[in-house]
Amino acid sequence: MRIPEQSAEQVAARLQAGEELTILDCRESFELRLASIEQPVLHVPLGMLEDHAEELPKDKPVVVMCHHGVRSMHGASILIQAGLTQVCSMSGGIDRWSIKVDPKVPRY
């Protein structure tokens, strides 16, 4: 299965254009305390995502993010298998967001 990806810059542009996105951060809680984007995010650690997939909107875009983009690919796969159709992984994760979108976000 091919998992759709968008760069941090593409996701930021979609948010800036006013698109209603659910940003799902699948990192662990301690990682969110280290670095987070300024947008509202839904936090569901990857290990719990399968149990909470049914709580996500099936008819709205969901962007899954993590630290570098590996866990978010797995998370997006879980959501697609759960029946969500508008899912993508944010390639490069919060690290790329910090480099390309908002340098105020700490890198770790």
- Whole-Å CA distances, 12 to 64, 82, 84: 13, 26, 21
Name the residue ranges covered by the structural domains of the chain.
5-101
Residues 12 and 48: their CA atoms lie apart, in Å, by 26
The residues near 85 (Cβ < 8 Å, ≥ 6 apart) are 58
- Give tens-digit pLDDT for 14-23: 999 999 999 9
* Residue 37, amino acid: I
- Give tens-digit pLDDT for 22-79: 999 999 999 999 999 988 999 999 999 999 999 898 889 999 999 999 999 999 999 9
What are the φ and ψ backbone dihedral angles of 89, each rounded to 5 degrees?
Answer: -100, 140
pLDDT at 1: 80
Superfamily of domain 5-101: Rhodanese-like domain (3.40.250.10)
